[in-house]
Chain A
Amino acid sequence: MSKAVSALGGVSHKGFVEVSEAGLQGMITVRGDLSSAKMKKAVKAATGTAVPEARRIVIAGDKAAAWMSPDELLILVPYTEAVATVAALEEALAGEHHIVADVSDARAMFRIKGAKASQALLKLCPVDFETLAEGEIRRTRAAQVAAALWKSAEDEFSLVSFRSAAGYVFGALEVSARTGSEPFPA
């Protein structure tokens, strides 16, 4: 595993908020019947959380389960646990129509930290951050590429994009976070 590197090697920039690539992150796509008993058990075992409600992410320590569509979840676990979690999910869902795919290496993850984190993001995403609910994951676009974002801590957002576009996303975040460019400076 030591050979594995994230798309941008953890690059960061400090402007009016700090934007950084978060490094390797285990991510697993799970599709199936989200209401089934097997699914609930499988997710509980993988992340320690319930199956999230529509458009919600439930976080438990370094793991989380996010609702991506009516038949799709994104499971977040530490990168080193992804392969084992995939196997466990496969086993738990055996006999039920489903798909489990390791997408840890297909994505890049970013953190936008600071009290004005949403002010950098609202330059790139057509999202109403004032009405973004507690625990909501929003799939949208960041400038010209697909992204998913959520408030991962007080004064912090996490954003996931495709790995190949990581350089573009970081560039857009860096410009958006530059000092003095807060849309609401006061």
Chain B
Amino acid sequence: MLTLECPYCGVKAEETELQAGGEAHLKRFGPGSSDDEFEGYLFLRKNPKGVHFERWRHAYGCGKWFLAARCTATLEVFGTYSAQTKEPPADLQAKIKAKRPDWEGYK
């Protein structure tokens, strides 16, 4: 059962206080999008063994959604950050790259 630090309130919450929200940084496709785009948005999810970016909500706490970068194999947490970002912060990406030189990078 993992722990994540909520970047909004600073509480290091355990998993029972959190709600998982799946893959982070999805781009929404609405009316006017192609079938392929919409399929990708609605159904196709990454499932890497390794570095992954996820949505979590501090549900039994400040109620805020935040994003987390962690390794799905070792559960190492590289960092948590604001949900109001289009992609992982550059310094976090650099940190991950340093820890996981084989990581193919974000996207």
- Is A in direct contact with B (CB under 8 Å) within the complex? yes
> Residues of A at under 8 Å CB distance from B?
54-55, 68-70, 72, 126, 138-141, 146
Query: CA–CA, A69 to B16, complex, Å?
Result: 19
Q: Is the CB of A54 within 8 A of B9?
A: yes
In contact, A138 and B11 (Cβ under 8 angstroms): yes
Bound CA–CA A48/B107 (angstroms) = 51
- Enumerate chain B interface residues (CB-CB to A < 8 A): 8-11, 13-14, 16-17, 60-64
Are A70 and B8 touching (Cβ within 8 A)? yes
> Given A55-B9, A126-B14, are A70 and B62 also a contact pair (CB < 8 Å)?
yes
Give the residue of B8, B16, B62, B64 whose beta carbon is less than 8 angstroms from that of A141.
Answer: B16
Do B11 and A126 touch (CB < 8 A)? no
Kindly name the residue among A55, A68, A70, A126 whose own CB sees the greatest number of chain B CB atoms within 10 A. A126
Q: Name the A residues within 8 Å of B64 (CB-CB).
A: 69-70
Q: Are B63 and A141 in contact (CB under 8 A)?
A: no
Q: A69-B63, A139-B61 are in contact. Are A55 and B17 (CB under 8 A)?
A: no
Rounded to whole Å, the gap between the CB of A107 and the closest CB of chain B is: 15
- Complex: A138 Cα to B10 Cα, angstroms: 11
Note all chain A residues with C-beta closer than 8 A to B10: 54-55
Q: What would 30 A/B residue contacts be, using CB atoms closer than 8 Å?
A: A54-B9, A55-B9, A55-B11, A68-B62, A68-B63, A69-B8, A69-B9, A69-B62, A69-B63, A70-B8, A70-B9, A70-B64, A72-B62, A72-B63, A126-B14, A126-B16, A126-B17, A138-B11, A139-B9, A139-B11, A139-B60, A139-B61, A139-B62, A140-B13, A140-B60, A140-B61, A141-B16, A141-B17, A141-B60, A146-B60
Measured between C-beta atoms, what is the minimum distance from A74 to chain B in Å?
12
Separation of A68 and B60 alpha carbons in the complex (Å): 11
